[in-house]
Amino acid sequence: MKNFLKVERAKQNITQAELAVRVGVSRQTINSIEIGKYVPSTLLALKIASVFEVSLDHIFMLEESDWS
């Protein structure tokens, strides 16, 4: 799964720490998601999308390899 968290943060000029506070997780959680260390729960992903005011599909996307 790909994500455009970093891009979206850049667009809206929000730091990892600030995003973390706004969605109620630790900064490292945001960082880990951003560098692809793991996939967030749907709850967290929806919250992130909500903070950015975009749809989830705009930030998180399936890849071919996710189906194998």
Partner DNA sequence: TCAAAAAGACAAGTTTGTTTTACATTTTAT
Partner DNA sequence: ATAAAATGTAAAACAAACTTGTCTTTTTGA
- Asked if residue 3 binds DNA (CB under 7 A), the reply is no
Q: How far is the CB of 47 from its own copies (least distance, A)?
A: 7
- Cβ–Cβ < 8 Å for 66, 1: yes
Show contacts with its own copies in window 18-57 (CB under 8 A): 24, 39-47, 50, 55-57
Nearest Cα residue to 5 out of 16, 26, 41: 16
x-or-dash string of contact with DNA, 17-56, rule CB under 7 A? x------xxxxxx-xxxxx-xxxxx-xx------------
d(CA 37, CA 9): 18
